[in-house]
Amino acid sequence: MMLIGITLLGLGFAVILIDLYRTDSANPALLTVLYYLSLRFLPRILRAIIFGGLGIWLVVYGILQLNRSLLNPFIRPGHDLVDTLTDFQRRKRGPKIVAIGGGHGLATLLRGLKTETSNLTAVVTVADDGGSSGRLRESYGILPPGDIRNCLAALSNDEDRLTQLFQYRFSGAKELEGHSFGNLFITALADITGSFESAVVESGRVLSVNGQVLPSTLNDVKLVASMELPHSINQVRVEGESKIPTMSGRVKRIWLEPDNAPAFPPVIKELLSADIIVVGPGSLYTSILPNLLVHDLLASMHASHAIKIYVCNIATQSGETDSFTCYDHIRALQEHVGEDLFDVILCNDNYTGELSSNSRFVIADEKILEDSRTYTANLTEEAHPWRHDSKRLTQTIMDIFYERTGPLS
């Protein structure tokens, strides 16, 4: 439409100029000026090339300057306009990825995936009942915002500054003691918009995130575990996500109460249309399984044609997965959600570096290596060997995807 408009505008000016040039009563001085301005002393084809080339240059330059003015507020310092637009288009054509989990592990994964695609959805557990999230959940009756806050910060364009802001915890005042700014921000938006899901959507818009963050369910669910404790014959019932890791025992089974909580409908839609579904990394019993125990969500994963990848943790977690190997993680998942859910089991194979005294590396043992779905790679962050490196993890996931499907057109 712009091209047609410019062409018609040029034709209008041309008609006026031709009328001035050909009129019998025209001023000879004006004819002389028009003669040179129209380059009539040159061959017609050369004049067409000169005027056409000059017109194209002016149009392109004007559009670039217009785009620069419009996009300037969104271009990060030190990034060129062309590079920014090219990167935006590349990520726009990226695969549709759904990442499921919670805690810092999911935030690490999102931090890398957002560089590859903008078609990114994080599905977060809402079973958290400890710390600031637990207090807000009890006081205001909203879903816990903690894990959602971490994911929003990880997906933001200006992550460093927003992480500092969203993770800032108040101290001194009794009412605000221990609360993070991000949790209070989401709580305030929930009160303004009238619903928690609207607050999450508006938070994403305010922060200009690359993708979206969705709660696995909108129901107020509680995580319950049956645990074997030392010096106890019978299994003990433990209620609350925050209490499970503090018990010095072994988790035998976990479930949600109520156990029929429906999945958030947008989550089902994203799962069914995804190209890749990534589960983990994160706390096995308190971050990953609470999502998969939502029956509608699990059924949608089974029905989806996406490549389903489970990312095993690098290090064991005290109180949850002490002495666990990669096979133990998969066995625990299968006991709760059934077999053959995942197409790929991604394990770390770099065991160098020092861990804390109560943690050790999760080894890719012989049993897991015998599974044809297993894929191993160096996924550790050099400075913190108990964490996943977001770039290495993302590159490995994309390599697995393209090996199976080929590059997207």
Same domain (yes/no): 57, 113: no
Q: What does the pLDDT look like over 85-100, one tens digit per residue?
A: 777 788 889 999 999 9
pLDDT value for 239: 92
Cβ–Cβ under 8 Å, residues 9 and 55: no
Nearest to 123 by CA among 142, 141, 97, 158: 97
DSSP-derived pairing of the beta strands 236-239 and 222-228: antiparallel
Mean per-residue pLDDT for 315-340? Answer: 93
In terms of domains, do 180 and 31 share one? Answer: no
Most confident of 26-30, 66-70, 115-119, 164-168: 115-119
For the chain, what is the mean pLDDT?
A: 88
Q: Which of 69, 96, 98 is nearest to 81 (CA)?
A: 69
> Among the three residues 15, 50, 84, which one is the final residue of a domain in this structure?
84
CA nearest to 134, candidates 61, 30, 222, 71: 222
Element housing 269 (H / E)? helix 265-272
Is a pLDDT exceeding 80 seen at residue 294? yes
CB 214 within 8 A of CB 124: yes
Average the pLDDT over 291-303 and give the result: 96
What does the pLDDT look like over 232-241, one tens digit per residue? 778 899 999 9
- Structural domain tally of the chain? 2
Q: Which of 145-159, 190-204, 268-282, 344-358 has the highest mean pLDDT?
A: 268-282
The answer to whether residues 393 and 305 belong to one domain is yes
pLDDT of residue 26: 56
> Which residue has tokens 């305030």?
188
Is the CB of residue 316 less than 8 Å from the CB of residue 359?
A: yes
pLDDT band at 121 (very low <50, low <70, confident <90, very high): very high
Using the CB atoms, write b or e for 252-286: b if 16+ within 10 Å.
eebbbeeeebebbeebbebbeebbbbbbbbbbbbb
Q: Which pLDDT belongs to residue 394?
A: 97
- Above 60 in pLDDT, residue 361? yes
Q: Does residue 276 lie in a domain region?
A: yes
Write the CB contacts of 82 (distance below 8 Å, at least 6 apart in sequence). Answer: none
Question: Looking at per-residue confidence, does 355 or 123 come out higher?
Answer: 123
d(CA 101, CA 286): 9
> At 271, which amino acid appears?
L
| Residue 114 and residue 174 in one domain | yes
Asked if pLDDT for residue 74 goes beyond 70, the answer is no
Local confidence band at 139 (pLDDT 50, 70, 90 cut-offs): confident
Question: What CATH number did the domain enclosing 125 receive?
Answer: 3.40.50.10680
DSSP 12-28: HHHHHHHHHHH-TT--H
Evaluate if residue 261 carries a pLDDT over 90: yes
Q: Which of 91-100, 120-129, 165-174 is the least confident region? A: 165-174
Same domain, yes or no, for 124 and 266?
yes
Instruction: Dig out the tokens for 122 from the structure.
Output: 């994080």
Domain of residue 201: give its range.
89-221+258-405
Contact 121, 200 (CB under 8 A): no
